[in-house]
Amino acid sequence: MPVAAPIVQVRELTKVFRQGEINVTALHRINLEIAAGEFLTLMGPSGSGKSTLLHIIAGIDRPTSGDCIVQERNIGALNESELADWRNQNVGFVFQTFNLIPVLSAFENVELPLLLTQLSARDRRRQVTTALELVGLSDRMKHLPRQLSGGQEQRVAIARALVTDPQLIVADEPTGNLDSHSAADVLDILRRLSRDARKTVIMVTHDPKAAAYGTRSIHLEKGELTN
């Protein structure tokens, strides 16, 4: 059980999507605490609300009711622009589909979040280089996404997620589009981030083998935690 103070506190979190006349309750009164340095895996069947929970914790969606407090900040209370800045400084997001910008090189993709900071070009270069070294791609900096394999693309995406040195890294099925070998590489990097760099990692996955990389696993079922 977590020893350190929780970095994420979710209290009575409910999310309802309105689709025309119908209300879809994606999350129902979720309570959850995540400690700094944890590698939490989030499992559950399709449509159970995993992505929705991840989006709310990462500040890209808002709860219908309840609170989501990340690093002692109630992120539901931030306005659009504050939330954008908050995301830039505090969360790294890894997508299932990588979502690299096709016209930008690996280096430029990783540099993107730093363009919103006050860092000089030289400091940016240093940080981008470090992040790409960490994922083992310092020899691919000038490559465009289409010149990389899926596994390499996802590692660039991880470098982009950690280049601002955020406390929190969230990943939504990051290995869902990868072969098992590349998946192992990616999972290994995420594990090292939590173990060696004390990052808090939250990962949605279907795959029990992937979940085995985490320090704790929770289950969602129809919008509710089951354990």
Partner 1 sequence: MLPLFKYHLRSIFIRWRSTVATILGLALVIAVFVLVQSLAVGIEKASANSGDPRNLLITRQGALAETTSVITREQFNIIRYLPGLAQDNAGQPLASADVLLIINLPRREATGNANVMLRGVAPAGRALRPQVTLVEGRWFEPGRREAVASRRLAGRFANLQVGQKFKTGGVELTVVGLFDAARSAFDSELWIDADEARSAFDRPDYSSVLVRPENEAAAARIKAALEAERRLKVKAVREVDYYKEQTRTAGPIRWLGNGLAVVMSIGAMFAAMNTLYASVGARTREIGTLRVLGFRRRSILLGFLLEGGLLAGFGGALGCVFALPMHGYSTGTLGWETFSEIVFDFQITPILAAQAVAFAIVVGLLGSFLPALRAARLPVIASLKSV
| Binding residues among 29-48 for ligand ADP as defined by CB under 6 A | 44, 46-48
Pure H helices in 23-79: 50-57
Please count the other Cβ atoms lying within 10 Å of the Cβ belonging to residue 198: 12
d(Cα 217, Cα 211) in Å, to the nearest integer? 7
d(Cα 37, Cα 71) in Å, to the nearest integer? 13
- Among ligand ADP, partner 1, Mg ion, none, what binds residue 60 when CB lies within 5 to 8 Å by partner kind? partner 1
Among 2, 11, 28, 51, binds Mg ion (CB under 5 A): 51
Q: In whole angstroms, how far apart are CA 127 and each of 120, 169, 201? A: 11, 17, 20
Q: Which is nearer to partner 1, 82 or 188 (CB)?
A: 82
Q: Which is nearer to partner 1, 71 or 89 (CB)?
A: 89
Q: How far is the CB of 223 from partner 1 (least distance, A)?
A: 16
Please report whether residue 177 would count as binding Mg ion according to CB under 5 A.
Answer: no
Give CA angle at 224 (205, 92), nearest 5°: 40
Q: How far is the CB of 132 from partner 1 (least distance, A)?
A: 17
d(Cα 186, Cα 151) in Å, to the nearest integer? 7
Residue 99's region, left for phi above 0, alpha for psi from -120 to 50, else beta, is left
- Among Mg ion, partner 1, ligand ADP, none, what binds residue 5 when CB lies within 5 to 8 Å by partner kind? none
d(Cα 41, Cα 8) in Å, to the nearest integer? 14
Q: How far is the CB of 218 from partner 1 (least distance, A)?
A: 21
Please report whether residue 24 would count as binding ligand ADP according to CB under 6 A.
Answer: yes
- Among Mg ion, partner 1, ligand ADP, none, what binds residue 112 when CB lies within 5 to 8 Å by partner kind? partner 1
Q: Are strands 6-19 and 22-35 parallel, antiparallel or unpaired?
A: antiparallel
Interface with partner 1 by CB under 8 A: which residues? 55, 58, 60-61, 80-81, 84-85, 87-89, 93, 95, 97, 99, 101-104, 108, 112-113, 115-116, 160
Interface with ligand ADP by CB under 6 A: which residues? 17, 19, 24, 26, 44, 46-52
